[in-house]
Amino acid sequence: MATAVGYLKEIDTQHLDPVDRDAVETAKVAANDAVTVLQGLSRGATPRVTYAPEPVDLNELVGRAMDMARPRARPKHIELALHETSEEVKVKADPLLLREVITNLVNNAIDAAPDNGHVELSTGRRGGNSTFFSVADNGQGVADENRHHLFEPHFTTKEHGTGLGLFMSYGIVREHQGQLLYEGNRRGAVFTVVLPPFGA
């Protein structure tokens, strides 16, 4: 990852068209964020991280993460849709770490969706006033025999996957006193993050 960051820094964006320039700048931000998170995770064998919580508008954070994912979705012509709740959904969270979770889930969904497929992000509230966001795709979903391995380190069904993305995300969500759930079916995968009410 550090090597990728180095290569991205060497790219001269002044001679790129606006779309490619935005894609490179987005990749730089995402790569730097990922390095920061992975450095924290590398200090222990379990997915625990040190985080600095602050009031975060979940709708705003999810919206920014979706914008960062557009360059990845473009080659497969994936439609990205955002369904924000009209309610205020404020959480106490580390924005860097929580955005890393959202980005990881969205990237996984883009990878799983077929060409010309779609990925949907939703925000809202659940029972007990908890806040949630979910990421859904129209791929093949997760096979029954793999579901209980999803959040284990190094488990992956991708040809070139590391098996650390969901493991890392699980650890981050746990530090936020939340839950990372798989709620998909044969029509696609749905991952949902449930977070405690603001001020809880």
Supply the pLDDT for residue 146.
84
Global pTM reads: 0.75
Q: Average pLDDT, stretch 77-88?
A: 94
E-state strands within the chain: 54-57, 79-83, 90-93, 118-126, 130-137, 179-182, 190-195
Q: Which of 31-35, 84-88, 151-155 has the highest mean pLDDT?
A: 84-88
Could you tell me if residue 113 is inside a domain?
yes
Cα dihedral 72/26/171/130 (nearest 10): -90
**What is the amino acid identity at position 177?**
Q
In a domain, 131, yes or no: yes
Structure tokens at 18: 């606006």
- Of 55, 38, 164, nearest to 107 (Cα)? 164
CA distance 183 to 117: 19
Q: Is residue 168 part of a domain?
A: yes
Average pLDDT over residues 78-91: 93
| The pair of three-digit structure tokens given for residue 45, joined into one six-digit string | 């064998």
Is 100 within the bounds of a domain?
Answer: yes
Residue 36, domain member (yes or no): no
Cα(31)–Cα(161) distance, rounded to whole angstroms?
16
In a domain, 13, yes or no: no
Helix (H) or strand (E) holding 188: none
Q: What is the pLDDT of residues 45-66, one digit of tens each?
A: 444 456 678 999 999 999 988 9
Residue 30 located in a structural domain:
no
Could you tell me the residue range of the domain that residue 146 belongs to? 52-195
| Burial (Cβ within 10 Å: 0-12, 13-18, ≥19) of residue 45 | exposed
pLDDT the model gives residue 111: 92
pLDDT in tens, 3-42: 344 434 555 566 666 656 665 565 556 555 555 555 555 5
Q: How many domains does the chain have?
A: 1
> Does any domain span residue 6?
no
Please give the DSSP secondary-structure letter assigned to residue 185: B
Residue 186 has pLDDT above 60, yes or no: yes
Q: What is the CATH number for 56?
A: 3.30.565.10
Would you say 143 and 106 are in contact if contact means Cβ atoms under 8 Å apart?
A: no
Of 109, 112, 111, nearest to 101 by C-alpha is: 109
Q: What is the pLDDT of residue 152?
A: 80
